[in-house]
Amino acid sequence: MDEARALSGDFDRLSQAVADRVGLGGTDLLAMDLISRHGQMTPGQLARELQLTTGAITGLVDRLHKAGYVRRVADADDRRRVFVRATAKEARVGELYRPLASGLRRAIEGYSEHELAMLTEFIRKLRSAVGGTIEGVRRG
């Protein structure tokens, strides 16, 4: 439990260091990660994922757009709907995580497929526990 707690803090500090380096806030960086992983998202989807109001999301997308990390793209099927997509500049942020990705690949080198499956399941269970805690805290 101590190691999981320490790892959480390590990831928080890494995210803050990256956010500081690129001149963004932590929530802005989380939004960029979501957009990058999904390819594109609507502002409403971002608001739900980040538990933010639509007004807050508008400001967040405005900041990311002004900084050149995202662009707004009208939905070809429904001109009222807008998608937020990452620009090529977003890849620069990803470069800051490259040493972590390399370190993670080195860290798993000696594990068997079975051990990696167990570790993956453990991480999924940790994420589920964190998600449940988040929901509980939000509900009060």
Mind listing the pLDDT tens digit of every residue in the chain (140 residues)?
Answer: 889 889 999 999 999 999 999 999 999 999 999 999 999 999 999 999 999 999 999 999 999 999 999 999 999 998 889 999 999 998 889 899 999 999 999 999 999 999 999 999 999 999 999 999 988 998 98
Side chain identity at residue 43, one-letter code:
P
pTM: 0.82
The CATH code that applies to domain 2-89 is 1.10.10.10
Q: Name residue 73's beta-bridge partners.
A: 83
DSSP 38: H
Q: Torsion angle of alpha carbons 114, 120, 122, 126, nearest 10°?
A: 180
C-alpha–C-alpha distance, residues 124 and 78, integer Å = 36
CA angle 35, 38, 44 (to 5 degrees): 60
